[in-house]
Amino acid sequence: AQSVSQHNHHVILSEAASLELGCNYSYGGTVNLFWYVQYPGQHLQLLLKYFSGDPLVKGIKGFEAEFIKSKFSFNLRKPSVQWSDTAEYFCAVNAGNSGGYQKVTFGIGTKLQVIP
């Protein structure tokens, strides 16, 4: 069964600091990987996704993530965070086989608090 681990449950940063949120998954086959963001009081929104090709994926609002297959990781990064990045971030994975239903597994989330 696939699983997702997010190592940091609560991160506090000052504005302009660099961000890296860890995500590791366990699944032996081809995977699709996602990062979602949930701003306070709002629903989850897709931040970026990886299906194939360039392992460095760029998303909205200056976020990027790197897929490292050998490490089963898909860490989220941003060079300089802003107060508006305060939110909860969820990593998710599903098997990459085409056709049919493939379960998406979410991590438990990382709460990011950016201090002005």
| Residues that bind another protein in the complex, under the rule CB under 8 A | 9, 32, 34, 36, 42-46, 49, 51, 90, 94-104, 106-109
Q: Which C-beta is closer to another protein: that of 24 or that of 109?
A: 109
User: Which tokens is 22 given?
Assistant: 């860890």
What distance in Å separates the CA atoms of residue 4 and residue 10, rounded to the nearest whole number? 17
- Residue 20 CB, shortest distance to another protein, in Å, is 20
**In the structure encoding, which two tokens stand for residue 64, read together?**
């990027």
If the CB atoms of residues 32 and 86 are measured against another protein, the closer one turns out to be: 32
Task: Indicate the residue among 37 and 116 with the shorter CB distance to another protein.
Answer: 37
Residue 80 DSSP code: S
Q: Which residue, among 92, 107, 103, 108, has the nearest Cα to 47 in the 3D structure?
A: 92
